[in-house]
Amino acid sequence: MRFVRYTLPFCFILLGCLFLQGQPLIPCATPAIKSSWLTEFQKRQRTPQLRSDENKYIAMTIHVVGTDEGKEYIGGNIILDALCSLNDKYASTGLQFFVKGDIQYINNSILFDHDKTTFPQIPNLFSRYNVPETVNVYFVRDPMDACGYNYMPGGQSMAIVLSNDCTNGKDANWAHEMGHYLSLPHTFYGWEMENVDPSKPAPHETKMGIEVEMSNGSNCEFAGDGFCDTPSDYLSGRWECDGKGISIIKQMDPDGNYFCSDGSLIMSYSLGICANRFSPSQVGAMHSYLGEALPHHFMPTAPCQNIEPIGDILQFPGNKVVVSSYNRKIMFQWNHAENASGYLLEVSLLANFGTVVYRGITRDTAVEVANLSSSRPYYWRIRPFNAMYACKSYSSTRSFTINQSTTGVPLLETIHKLELYPNPIQAGESIRLRFEADENMALNAVLANALGEVVHQQKIQTSVGNNDYLLNPNLLPAGIYHLWLKGEKGAISRKLIVH
The answer to whether the beta carbons of residues 175 and 268 sit under 8 Å apart is no
Q: Can you tell me the distance from the alpha carbon of 290 to that of 127, in angstroms, rounded to the nearest whole number?
A: 21
pTM given for the model:
0.80
The answer to whether the beta carbons of residues 308 and 395 sit under 8 Å apart is no
Kindly give the confidence (pLDDT) of every residue in the chain, 499 residues in length, as a single tens digit, with 9 standing for 90 and above.
Answer: 233 322 222 222 233 333 333 333 467 777 777 888 898 888 887 654 444 568 999 999 999 999 999 999 999 999 999 999 999 999 999 999 999 999 999 999 999 999 999 999 999 999 999 999 999 999 999 999 999 999 999 888 999 999 999 999 888 999 999 999 999 999 999 999 888 888 899 999 988 889 999 999 999 999 999 999 999 999 998 898 888 889 988 999 999 999 999 999 999 999 878 899 999 999 999 999 999 999 999 999 999 999 988 888 998 888 898 887 766 778 899 999 999 999 999 999 999 999 999 999 999 998 989 888 888 999 999 999 999 999 988 999 999 998 877 666 778 899 999 999 899 998 888 899 999 999 999 999 998 886 667 889 999 999 999 999 999 888 888 888 888 898 888 888 888 888 8
125 CB-near residues (< 8 Å, 6+ apart):
108, 110, 111
The answer to whether the beta carbons of residues 319 and 402 sit under 8 Å apart is no
CATH of domain 415-498: 2.60.40.1930
Strands 378-385 and 479-487: unpaired
Comparing C-alpha atoms, which of 264, 280, 289 is closest to residue 150?
289
- Name the fold adopted by 314-406: Immunoglobulin-like (2.60.40)
Q: What is the pLDDT of residue 11?
A: 29
Q: What is the pLDDT of residue 24?
A: 34
The answer to whether domain 36-181 and domain 314-406 are alike in fold is no
Q: Can you tell me the distance from the alpha carbon of 275 to that of 489, in angstroms, rounded to the nearest whole number?
A: 61
In the three-class reduction of DSSP (H, G, I as helix; E, B as strand; rest coil), residue 374 is classed as coil
Q: What is the CA radius of gyration of the chain?
A: 29
The answer to whether the beta carbons of residues 328 and 410 sit under 8 Å apart is no
Q: Can you tell me the distance from the alpha carbon of 214 to that of 381, in angstroms, rounded to the nearest whole number?
A: 54
Comparing C-alpha atoms, which of 120, 119, 109 is closest to residue 69?
109
How many DSSP H helices and E strands does the chain contain? 6, 28
Q: To which CATH superfamily is domain 36-181 assigned? A: Collagenase (Catalytic Domain) (3.40.390.10)
Cis previous bond, 424, omega within 30 = yes
At residue 84, what are phi and psi to the nearest 5 degrees? -60, -45
Q: Can you tell me the distance from the alpha carbon of 9 to that of 7, in angstroms, rounded to the nearest whole number?
A: 6
Helix 173-181 / helix 76-89 crossing angle, nearest 10 deg:
60
Q: Can you tell me the distance from the alpha carbon of 412 to that of 225, in angstroms, rounded to the nearest whole number?
A: 67
Instruction: Give 119-146 pLDDT, tens digit per residue.
Output: 999 999 999 999 999 999 999 999 999 9
- All structural domains of the chain with their residue ranges: 36-181, 314-406, 415-498
The answer to whether the beta carbons of residues 359 and 371 sit under 8 Å apart is no
Instruction: Give 238-247 pLDDT, tens digit per residue.
Output: 898 888 889 9
At residue 142, what are phi and psi to the nearest 5 degrees? -140, 105
Q: What is the pLDDT of residue 46?
A: 63
Give 4: exposed, middle or buried? Use CB within 10 Å, 0-12, 13-18, 19+: exposed
Q: Can you tell me the distance from the alpha carbon of 200 to that of 237, in angstroms, rounded to the nearest whole number?
A: 18
Instruction: Give 92-112 pLDDT, tens digit per residue.
Output: 999 999 999 999 999 999 999
Q: What is the pLDDT of residue 127?
A: 96
The answer to whether the beta carbons of residues 413 and 404 sit under 8 Å apart is no
Q: CA separation (Å) from 109 to 3, 28, 118, 122, 146?
A: 22, 21, 11, 11, 17
